[in-house]
């Protein structure tokens, strides 16, 4: 059994919280194990003046950390799973996930307005095309502005008048102790969450039996089953930050219930489908849900967004 583990992580407050949570979990289960953090700056941390959808890099918040994992500088990497592409670099794999936190989005409103109360002229900031499409479908009179930066810098921008409200991942606010800023948790039927939102992932080298033993002990099975299905859905639709799509799933009594959507950028075209099945068939269910949406015209919507990328 390994006696020392080095975790690769981004340096944001939220990333460090998540890495520290993995560290604490490992040390609680393995008291003789020494765990340390290695902070690595990613491309997404360096480019803060361009919308995520325009950078066009699936590994925006992960590539540099994965390179350190490949060359042996770190033993494992901790990510927000929603940032981790479905196709991982050669030699790497998803090793484990912790128990999923809140998977829904949150509205943070400067004046206390709820989502249903926002109207013409109200400015809502988000860096996500998925959230933008959901907002436009609900009310196309809302003004959408892009926003980048960490959680605290976004809150500061709003307070300085950049926008009237923001849509953010509720889990991030909760993990940083900023629940007081949440005006409301958004119904996932209105704005469908990102694939794997709220889940903390540990990435590892494919051939590393000692780390594999550790991962088997900390992996949360119910969360794993859900995210396998969601990531299969995402992979089958060839999605990423440049596409307004989302999916969430719930596990109850051995049954996995999934809901997914694909939308045009302006929210005028919106396909929402659901299905359920045995939890042991998670990846198969994710693909079935994606196929169900392709049959309803999802490919046409995706091709409008990026005509050269999507194939059936």
Q: Select which of 32, 45, 83, 146 is catalytic.
A: 83
Distance CA(195)–CA(39), nearest Å, equals: 25
Distance CA(170)–CA(175), nearest Å, equals: 9
Question: Which tokens in the block code for residue 109?
Answer: 């409103």
Distance CA(293)–CA(285), nearest Å, equals: 12
Helix, strand or coil for residue 165? Answer: strand
- Are 187 and 125 in contact by the 8 Å Cβ rule? The answer is no
Question: Which tokens in the block code for residue 17?
Answer: 């919280």
Question: Which tokens in the block code for residue 173?
Answer: 């606010």
- Are 121 and 143 in contact by the 8 Å Cβ rule? The answer is yes
**Residue from 246, 191, 218 nearest 76 by CA:** 218
Catalytic residue status for 71: no
Q: Residue 246 burial (CB < 10 Å; 0-12/13-18/19+)?
A: buried
First to last CA, the chain: 46
Helical spans, DSSP H, in the chain:
13-29, 43-46, 52-55, 63-70, 129-138, 151-159, 170-175, 209-218, 221-236, 282-295, 298-305
Distance CA(241)–CA(51), nearest Å, equals: 10
**Residue from 172, 193, 204 nearest 8 by CA:** 204
Annotated catalytic residues are 83
């Amino acid at each position: 059994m390994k006696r020392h583990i080095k975790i690769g992580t981004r340096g944001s407050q939220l990333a460090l919280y998540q890495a520290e949570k993995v560290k604490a979990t490992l040390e609680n289960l393995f008291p003789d194990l020494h765990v340390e953090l290695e902070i690595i700056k990613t491309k997404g941390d360096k480019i803060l003046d361009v919308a995520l959808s325009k950078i066009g890099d699936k590994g925006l918040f992960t590539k540099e950390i994965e390179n350190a994992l490949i060359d042996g500088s770190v033993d494992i990497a901790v990510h927000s799973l929603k940032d981790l592409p479905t196709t991982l670099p050669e030699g790497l794999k998803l090793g484990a996930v912790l128990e999923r936190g809140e998977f829904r989005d949150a509205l943070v409103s400067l004046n206390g307005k709820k989502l249903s109360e926002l109207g013409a002229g109200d400015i809502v900031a988000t860096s996500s095309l998925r959230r933008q499409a959901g907002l436009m479908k609900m009310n196309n009179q809302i003004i959408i502005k892009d926003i980048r930066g960490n959680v605290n810098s976004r809150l500061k921008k709003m307070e300085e008048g950049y926008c009237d409200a923001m849509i953010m991942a509720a889990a991030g606010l909760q993990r940083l102790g900023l629940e007081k800023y949440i005006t409301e948790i958004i119904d996932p039927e209105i704005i469908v969450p990102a694939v794997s939102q709220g889940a903390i992932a540990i990435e590892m080298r494919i051939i590393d039996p000692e780390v594999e033993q550790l991962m088997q002990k900390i992996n949360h099975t119910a969360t794993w089953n859900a995210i396998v299905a969601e990531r299969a859905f995402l992979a089958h639709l060839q999605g990423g930050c440049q596409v307004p799509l989302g999916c969430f799933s719930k596990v109850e009594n051995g049954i996995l219930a999934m809901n997914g959507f694909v939308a045009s950028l302006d929210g005028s075209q919106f396909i929402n489908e659901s299905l359920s099945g045995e939890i042991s068939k998670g990846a198969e269910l994710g693909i079935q849900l994606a196929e169900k949406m392709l049959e309803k015209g999802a490919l046409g919507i995706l091709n409008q967004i990026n005509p050269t990328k999507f194939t059936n």
